Amino acid sequence: MSTNPAAPLLAEEATTFRRPGRALIGWMPTDRGAIVLAGGNQAGAQNQELIERVQAARDAVAARPAGIDQNAIVDEENPVIGDIVDRLRNQPNTSPFWNEGWSVGIVDLTRVCSLQQSVASQQAEDRVAAVDPDDFVSIAEVTLPPPSTDDIPMQYDEQRNAWIITAPNPNLRITGAANAGTPAGPLCGFSFLILPSFLQVARHHGRYVLRDGYHRAYGLLQRGITHAPAFVRDFGVGDIGTNAGPIHDGRVPERHTPASR
């Protein structure tokens, strides 16, 4: 796990419970898409009905014309950007972005290509529920947030001798470990935080792709909010530092999907 806020925080694909989600099955191998439709059950790869649904989605993708119009997808002239940047520059957790050459722009989310293949849809919608759709400053509070001050609920399960720690934000991470001696015996534990995560749009091989912030982008689009402040950077043909999805031979596939689809 990286604690660098400029590194993307990727959603785990495998979980121990089921939750509502959306997946790009048309870009997946047939067996993997069937497993996803089966809720992660490996038996899905043998389910003919699910296999046919995935193949139909793959055929629809193959029939799409190559390419996507991303002309003027980023607006870096909007006057509200200055206020957002002033706030971000006063946050110590954004310094890696300025050092790496990121800037802030208003991005058309409907034309950004997706690399990550799935999102937890209910979680995504909950995270943007309080956003004012007509106020970029309000949207930036979610897409380029200040450090979290949320309390993290903790509960000790005496039957299992385990702590239960939950947060609606998927960026809850273990940040360290410690041990000490006590009169009752050795004590060990770990520290945890909700790490900073920002909406990041990378230009890679001439194509704008979403590098981080998938749940928020999906949640905003579900609310009809198509433009949002984001960190933006041109990576040229270099590594964008994510294994989020189907980049083949270092290139974004020609028939890729906007994050809105």
Whole-number pLDDT of residue 156: 86
**DSSP string spanning the chain?**
----TTS--PPPS--SS---EEE-GGGS-HHHHHHHHTTT-GGGGG-HHHHHHHHHHHHHHHTSPS----TT-EE---THHHHHHHHHHT-GGGHHHHHTT-EEEEEEGGGSBP-S-EEEHHHHHHHTTT--TT-HHHHHHHHSPPPP-----EEEETTTTEEEE--SSTTEEEEEEEEEEETTEEEEEEEEEE-----EEEEETTEEEEEE-HHHHHHHHHTT--EEEEEEEEEETS--S---S--BTTB--SS--BTT-
pTM over 0.85: no
Give the pLDDT confidence score for residue 168 in this predicted structure. Answer: 66
pLDDT, residue 4, reads: 54
pLDDT given at position 255 = 46
Domain edges within the chain: 21-147+196-236, 154-194
pLDDT at 198 (0 to 100): 95
Q: What is the pLDDT along the chain (261 residues), one digit of tens a residue?
A: 344 555 554 444 444 456 778 888 998 999 999 999 998 899 999 999 999 999 999 999 999 888 889 999 999 999 999 999 999 999 999 999 999 999 999 999 999 998 888 887 777 778 898 999 999 999 999 999 998 767 788 888 888 888 888 776 667 778 889 899 889 889 888 888 777 789 999 999 899 999 999 989 999 999 999 999 999 999 998 888 765 444 433 444 444 554 544
Structure confidence at residue 54 (pLDDT)? 95
